A and B are shown apart, each in its own frame.
Chain A
Amino acid sequence: MSARPFVPLVAALALLAAGGSTLIAQETTLLNVSYDPTREFYQEVNAAFAAQWKAKTGRALTIQQSHGGSGKQARAVIDGLEADVVTLALAYDVDAVEKAGLVRSGWQKRLPDNACPYTSTIVFLVRKGNPKGIKDWGDLARPGVAVITPNPKTSGAARWSYLAAWAWALRRPGGSEATAQDFVARLYRNVPVLDTGARGSTNTFVQRGIGDVLLAWENEAFLAVKELGPDKVEMVVPSLSILAEPPVAVVDAVVDRRGTRAAAQAYLEFLYTSEGQRLAAKHYYRPRSKEALAQAPVRFAAVQLVRIDEAFGGWAKAHAAHFAEGASFDRIYQAR
C-alpha cells in the first residue's frame, strides 16, 4: 500500500534488535527495579556495594537498575521483568508484587523500619523570590496559582502529595471528608498538566517553565535547588506533610530461580549500614540513622509529618478511598 513499506519495517527491526539485546551472565548480576527519582542515589549505592561485595566474597557483581513510575515498574515485575529486588515509592506497589506471588507475605517485617531504609516527604518548589507568596497547602487552591504535580493514578510521588493535601485539609478547623474533597478539587483545578511520573513533572516545571509551584519529593526539590541554583527556584516547606516511606524488598521468586538470594539480601541490608545511610542522606533522602542525619549535607526541615497508617489506615484503604476507579480523585474530574 505505502510507497515505502520498508521504512517502518526497518524501524521495527531496529527496535527489536535494541530491545532484545542479550545479557551474557559470566558474573553475578542483580536487577534493582526502582521508581523515578532514585537514579543517582542507586548508581552510587551500586558502585559502593559492588566494591564491598567483591572485597568480601572475591566475586564480581554487576547491579543493573531500571527506573520509571512506581506503578509501572511494579507491573513490569509482575509481567515478568526479572527483578532481584524492588525499591519502589510506596508499599502498595510492593503489595501488588506480593499478590502476584513473587514476594512472600510479611515482607515488611523482614527488614528493619518497615523495610524502608530511608524516608522522604513532599515539599513545594517555587520560582525565585516566591512571586505568588506560596506558604502552605491553602495557597495552592487560590485562583491564579498554577500547580504542577503528576497523575496520582500513575505516580507514587503524586499519591503522597495528594494524601498530604487531603490530610492538611482534614486537620483544618472544621475539617471533614467533604471539605477535604472540596479542597483537593480546587487544588487540582489549578493543575494544567498531569505528567505520568515525578521526573516528567520536574521537567515541565523546571525546563519548560510552566506553573508557579511544583509538588515534589523533598530529595528532588533539594536536587533541583542545587542543580539550578537558588536564583532560579526555592523550596517551601508546608506546615504539614506526609511521611513518605519508600519500601524495599527481595523478589523471592526471582532470586530463588536465579540463585541470587544472598547477594540480593546483602544488597538491601547494605542500605541500612552507615555507608548506605550516608549515601541516602547525600542524595537528600532522610536517613533512619541518627549519625547519618547529623552529617547530612542539608538540614531537613522539622515539619509535622502524618503517617499513612494513622491518617488513612494503610495503603489498601487509602487506595480504595482515593485512587480506585470512581474514588475521590476521579470525582474531582467528574464533578466538572
Chain B
Amino acid sequence: MLRRRHSVLPGFGLTLGFSVFYLSLVVLLPLLALVLKSASFGWAAFRVAAVAPRAIAAYRLSFGAAAAGAAVNAVFGLLVAWVLVRYRFPGRRLIDALVDLPFALPTAVAGIALTTLYAETGWLGRPLSAMGLKVAFTPIGVGLALTFIGLPFVVRTLQPVIEALDPEVEEAAASLGAGRPATLARVVLPAIAPAWLTGVALAFARALGEYGSVVFIAGNMPMKTEIAPLVIMTKLEQYDYAGATAVAVVMLLASLLILGGVNALQAWTVRRAAVE
C-alpha cells in the first residue's frame, strides 16, 4: 500500500506518523489490551470458555444472521442506491435522508420499535404469526434487526460509484448489440463490484458487533437466539472476565479472517476489472 512517490503536497511523513499514532491509540491499543487480558487467564480456561456449546451456538447465530442480513442488504441496498442515483422522482431527497436513519437512531430505539412491530401482538407480528411465521424472539428477528442497521452501509458506499458510472457507457454497450442482462453483467456490475463488496463487508462487520437493537428482538434464549455479544455481556455480569474475553477474542479473530477474505476478494475484482 505504502508508495513513496514525489508529490506536490508536502507533509507526507508528518501525516503518516500521525495516522499511525492515531490508529494505534484508537484501534490497536484496545485490541491489544483484549488479547493480553485473554492471555493472562491461561490456555485451558480460554479453550473451555471459547468452545462451550453455548458459545458455539452464539457464534453460529451471530455470523449466520449477520451474513443473512448482509446478503439481503447486498440485493436491496444495490436496488435502493441505483434508484436513488439514476431516477428523479418526488420524495427522492426524503428517501435519501431516511437511508441514514439506522446510523443515527439509537440502536435500542430501533430494537424496541422492531420488537413492538413484530411481536405476536404487534401490527405486523399478528398477521405474520397467523400465517405461522414468528419473527420476534426467533433467529429471523435477529436477522431482521441486523438487516435494518446494515442497510446504509451498502447504499452509501454504492451511491458515489453509481454516480460516477456514465449512462453513456451502457448506451454504448446497447448500441454494440449487448442485451440488458449482458450490459448489467459485463458493464455495470464489474464497475461497481469493489464498492459493492466493501459496502456488504461493512454491513456484515457492523452486524457482527451489534448488541443494542438485537437484545430486544432476539428473545435471548441460550443455544437458540443468544448472540455472541450477549454471551460476552452475561459472562461479564457474572464476573467471568476470562470467559468473556475468550469469546471476544474468538469473535475478533473470526471477524479479522472474514474481513481479510473480503479485502482479498475485492482486490481481485479490482485487478480483474483493470485487466478487462
Contacts and interface: CB of A to CB of B under 8 A. Distances in A.
Nearest to A146: B120
B222 interface: yes
Interface in A282-327: 323-326
B138 to A, nearest CB: 10
Interface residues of B, number: 37
Interface stretch (B10-18, B152-160, B252-260): B152-160
Interface in A1-42: 1-4, 7-8, 11
Interface in B85-112: 100, 103-104
Contacts of A193: 137, 219-221
Interface string B206-225: 00000000010001111110
A333 B116 contact: no
Contact of B103 (A7, A74, A208): A7
Contacts of A333: 54, 221-224
Contacts of A208: 115-116, 119, 121-122
Nearest to B230: A196
A78 interface: yes
Contacts of A334: 53-54, 223
Interface stretch (B65-73, B166-174, B237-245): B237-245
A208 B119 CA distance: 8
A72 B236 CA distance: 8
Contact of A192 (B53, B137, B198): B137
A151 interface: yes
Contacts of B122: 208
Interface string A151-190: 1011000000000000000000000000000000000000
A3 B156 contact: yes
Contacts of A325: 48-49, 52, 240, 243
Contact of A4 (B119, B156, B220): B156
A131 interface: no
B24 interface: no
B239 A2 contact: no
Contacts of B153: 2
A293 B233 CA distance: 39
Contacts of B234: 151, 153-154, 196
B160 A69 contact: no
Question: Which applies to chain A's interface (DSSP): helix, strand, loop or mixed?
Answer: loop
B50 interface: no
A275 interface: no
A51 interface: no
Interface string B138-160: 00000000000000010011011
A153 B238 CA distance: 7
Contacts of A330: 54, 222
Contacts of A153: 234, 237-238
Nearest to B226: A194
Contact of A3 (B157, B215, B220, B239): B157
A333 B198 CA distance: 38
B95 to A, nearest CB: 15
B202 interface: yes
Nearest to A209: B121
Contacts of A151: 220, 234
Nearest to A3: B156
B238 A323 contact: yes
Contacts of A74: 239
Contacts of B221: 191, 193-194, 333
Q: Which interface residue of B160, B202, B223 has the most chain A CB atoms within 10 A?
A: B223
A243 interface: no
B215 to A, nearest CB: 7
Contacts of B116: 208
Q: Which interface residue of B153, B198, B222, B223 has the most chain A CB atoms within 10 A?
A: B222
Contacts of B52: 325-326
A78 B202 CA distance: 34
Nearest to B160: A3
A2 B121 CA distance: 38
Interface string A80-110: 0000000000000000100000000000000
A7 B119 contact: no
A4 to B, nearest CB: 6
Interface of B: 48-49, 52-54, 100, 103-104, 115-116, 119-122, 137, 153, 156-157, 159-160, 198, 202, 215, 219-224, 233-234, 236-240, 243
Given A193-B219, A333-B224, 4 more contacts: A151-B220, A194-B220, A209-B119, A333-B222
22 contacts: A1-B157, A2-B156, A2-B157, A3-B156, A7-B100, A69-B237, A72-B236, A153-B237, A153-B238, A154-B233, A191-B221, A192-B137, A192-B219, A193-B220, A195-B220, A209-B119, A210-B120, A323-B238, A324-B238, A325-B240, A330-B54, A333-B223
Interface of A: 1-4, 7-8, 11, 69, 71-72, 74-75, 78, 96, 151, 153-154, 191-196, 208-210, 323-326, 330, 333-334, 336
